[in-house]
């Protein structure tokens, strides 16, 4: 059985006026079980030279399940961002260096994860999918 854990650590010396230090860890498991997720796309990068929206993950290709998605904007230019959309709903924007890790149930073609870069020059995102 595969065992994959995700850890998030948040720290700041001055965000709240006091030192902030939060950390949490989760084991990535299949829906409703303690069995670990055992499939992955691996960590990859996609570079585009267009500001057109494209499908990163096709909802029909993965089906129901407790999937986890990682996306990172690798740009170093503060004004460059990528917009994430799922099922025609804008989830948010990742600016230079930002990343996201979120659950995804890909049970229909309408649940595609789509990305749209803010620029039509070389733009790279790093991504991975952990799925059932």
User: What integer best gives the mean pLDDT of the chain?
Assistant: 94
Kindly report the pTM of this predicted structure. 0.92
Query: What's the average model confidence in pLDDT over 33-61?
Result: 95
| β-pair partners for 40 | 130
The CATH superfamily holding the domain 29-131 is Jelly Rolls (2.60.120.10)
Quick one: pLDDT band at residue 16, thresholds 50, 70, 90?
Answer: confident
What is the per-residue pLDDT for 107?
80
Distance between CA atoms of 8 and 28, rounded to whole angstroms? 13
CB 69 within 8 A of CB 59: no
Distance between CA atoms of 132 and 129, rounded to whole angstroms? 10
Query: What's the average model confidence in pLDDT over 13-40?
Result: 91
Q: Where are the beta strands (DSSP E) in the chain?
A: 5-12, 20-27, 39-40, 44-48, 54-57, 63-73, 81-86, 89-95, 99-106, 113-117, 123-131
CA neighbor of 50 nearest in space, from 119, 113, 125: 119
Residue 82's Cβ-side half-sphere holds a number of Cα atoms within 13 Å equal to 33
What is the per-residue pLDDT for 1?
64
DSSP 3-state assignment of 103?
A: strand
Distance between CA atoms of 82 and 92, rounded to whole angstroms? 8
Length of the chain: 132
- pLDDT single digits (tens) 69-114: 999 999 999 999 999 999 999 999 999 999 999 999 988 778 999 9
Residue bearing the bigger pLDDT, 99 or 3: 99
């Amino acid at each position: 059985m595969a065992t994959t854990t995700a850890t998030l650590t948040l720290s700041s010396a001055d965000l709240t006026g006091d030192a902030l230090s939060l950390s949490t860890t989760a084991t990535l498991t299949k829906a409703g079980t303690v069995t670990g997720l055992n499939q992955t796309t691996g960590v990859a990068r996609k570079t585009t030279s267009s500001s057109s929206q494209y499908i990163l993950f096709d909802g029909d290709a993965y089906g129901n399940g407790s999937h986890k998605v990682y996306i990172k904007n690798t740009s170093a230019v503060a004004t460059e961002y990528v917009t994430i959309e799922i099922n025609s709903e804008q989830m948010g924007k990742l600016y230079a260096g930002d990343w996201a890790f979120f659950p995804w149930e890909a049970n229909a073609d309408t649940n595609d994860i789509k990305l749209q870069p803010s620029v039509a020059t070389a733009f790279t995102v790093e991504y991975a999918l952990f799925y059932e």
